[in-house]
Amino acid sequence: MAAVTELSFLLFALSNYIHAQEVIILRDEVDSYTFKLPENSTSCLISRCVGEEQLVLWNTSDLWSNSSSVPQHLKQRLVSSVKTSSYTILNLTHSDSGRYREECWTEGNVTHDNNFTITVCPSTDWSDITIDPTSVRLGGTVDLPCWGAADNLDIQWLKQDSRDDYETWRRVFWDKTTSVMDNVRGRYQVVTNTSTLRVSNVTATDFTAYSCLVMNQQQCVSSYPVGLVPQYEVIYRSVGETAVLPCSITDSTDEQPPRWTKPFSTDLGQLKQTDPSVDQNYSLVFSSLMLNHSGRYYCKAPNRVQHYYLFVCPKFGPPAVELFSEGEEVTLRCRDWGKGKGHVWFIKSNRTEGRIFSVWYDQSMSRVSWYRNNGTLVISNISVGDAGEYWCVVYDDDYGHYQCVSTERTVLVWL
């Protein structure tokens, strides 16, 4: 019995390994796909697996002859280019889906061997579907939706293979229960009743594109892509203070260092001795903040970006004091909210160890309602953990610089 169990485990592990290594090419129906073969090869074979059988589709040295093995319906949709050694299938259909292999020889030696899967899905009418990128903080948990999922159909989740290549994907789940990716096992789960992909303890390598394939047996019924991007962070500082904006979206696969940019400004990526400067960890460092440092900042790496809003305000005066008892509802008012083009609330409480968070960014403030049309912040069912300091920053969005107009501070004191 132990031997049977061990064999079953080894087969399961081998199956996971095969699926994890598999490169998948996603295409819509009526799209095309081009096989790009080495130009110096004597001959090449392109074959497709049907079940356990490998069928030779064509031999590039004998492509157009009457005895060619290329099926007639495929030959009619095939375009070749002698100059680039490329072969394109036009007007793809679901029957073109399957596992493919490219093999090329030069003087009897194999010089090219490539295996991949092409999955052809029906074209999606995006006019009725609004898909916005899903944002999350590093270390957080997020659910990526799978539109069109149904209980009686199979679901496959794919992850973009490379941030520089939108064409290739890797399968995350192929049996809906266990991730086939070793580096994410335990962090990726499919929620059974919704087929959403739950990503836990998010790392920089998770920020990429995903696609949910709704399958009927081996045929793709629909595909729905969704992007996972870093959640923007809103930061408050006073004049003369320091600030460090981390660039935490980089990983070991990046060949080029990230760049810092600011709208309507120059590229900040090459700054060395000026304020701000970029340190060895690619963080943007402000040693002594000034009012004109306010604005939006972007740390950009290939196909992903980290976004900051920095508000720099003058030193604030004495705070107002509000007393409260547990369970009450407290309304804080931003009296100067009409002086600028917008306002934002910041929170500094004991439960955040003195750190300052924006209401936009602090996910624990589920009992807080922010009314932008009248400058009020309402905290319901207040508790001792809500005690602390609250700032309302009124700003004027002048070409993306978010210039601070005024700051009001209120201290909530628990009775």
Does position 333 have pLDDT exceeding 70, yes or no?
Answer: yes
Task: Decide: 279 and 285 in contact? Cβ < 8 Å.
Answer: yes
- Please choose, from the candidates 164, 149, 213, 206, the residue with its C-alpha nearest in 3D space to the C-alpha of residue 181: 206
Cβ burial of 69 (10 Å; 0-12, 13-18, 19+) is middle
Q: Which of 173-177, 231-235, 256-260, 394-398 has the lowest mean pLDDT?
A: 173-177
The contacts of residue 347 (CB under 8 Å, 6+ apart) are: 356, 357, 358, 359, 362, 365, 388, 389, 390, 391
Task: Decide: 143 and 193 in contact? Cβ < 8 Å.
Answer: no
Between CA 415 and CA 407 the distance in angstroms is 26
Q: Report pLDDT digits (tens) over 201-252.
A: 888 888 888 988 888 888 898 888 888 888 888 889 999 999 999 988 877 6
Architecture of the domain whose range is 233-313 = Sandwich (2.60)
**Overall fold of domain 320-414:** Immunoglobulin-like (2.60.40)
Q: Domain-by-domain residue ranges, the chain? A: 29-120, 133-230, 233-313, 320-414
Q: What is the mean pLDDT of residues 306-325?
A: 87
Fold identical between 29-120 and 320-414?
Answer: yes
Q: Which of 48-57, 95-104, 121-130, 266-275 has the lowest mean pLDDT?
A: 266-275
Confidence of residue 265 (pLDDT cuts 50, 70, 90): low
Does position 267 have pLDDT exceeding 60, yes or no?
Answer: no
Confidence of residue 14 (pLDDT cuts 50, 70, 90): very low
The conformational region for residue 38 under phi > 0 = left, psi -120 to 50 = alpha, else beta, is beta
Does position 264 have pLDDT exceeding 70, yes or no?
Answer: no
**Overall fold of domain 29-120:** Immunoglobulin-like (2.60.40)
User: Domain 133-230 classified CATH 3.30.9.100?
Assistant: no
Cβ burial of 290 (10 Å; 0-12, 13-18, 19+) is exposed
CA distance to 305, 316, 341, 403, per residue, from 398 (Å):
23, 22, 9, 7
CB atoms within 10 A of CB 16: 19
Instruction: Quote the pLDDT of residue 130.
Output: 52
Q: Report pLDDT digits (tens) over 154-186.
A: 888 999 877 666 678 988 875 555 555 655 667
How many helices (H) and strands (E) the chain has is answered by 2, 31
Mean pLDDT over all residues of the chain? Answer: 78
Instruction: Quote the pLDDT of residue 116.
Output: 92
Between CA 43 and CA 54 the distance in angstroms is 18
Instruction: Quote the pLDDT of residue 335.
Output: 82
